[in-house]
Structure 1
Amino acid sequence: MRSDTYQWASVLLLGGALACAVSFQAIGSRVGPDGILREPFGLIPIGYGLAAGSIASLTLSLIWRPRKP
């Protein structure tokens, strides 16, 4: 794989992480009439996972350089 592929993957994963963070803030939390807390908690670990994947992909793109013949 070429290093620019990892850079694009890093950008896409970072965009996904930001989308999860913005969505979490936009949806918000509320307490239902039955007293149960309703919040989009699943977006938090998904966002962290996407951010970690973005960092890993960026690291790979910086480490793995094409060999010059």
Structure 2
Amino acid sequence: MPYVNIKVTREGGPDGTGPSSDQKAQLISEVSDLLHRVLGKDPAATFVVINEVAMEDWGVGGLPVQEYRNQAQ
């Protein structure tokens, strides 16, 4: 029984607050399909959880992600 946890920043959606419901449904479907194709796992027994994380709660390279992105430009 696979369990997949996807964490994304809360941005980029149609209203700027995160992935849309359609995008989340696509992630769930395609991740379940991938596990079925690669590992033969039953999609009915595959759990996919999507967590949205506020930008200020996400860091990379020792910096908040927005600051990291600004420096990378």
Instruction: Please give the range of the TM-score, normalised by the shorter of the 2 chains.
Output: 0.3 to 0.5
Structure index of larger Rg? 1
Higher helix share: 1
TM-score, normalised by the number of residues in structure 2: 0.32
Higher strand share: 2
Higher relative contact order (CA 8 A, sep 6+): 1
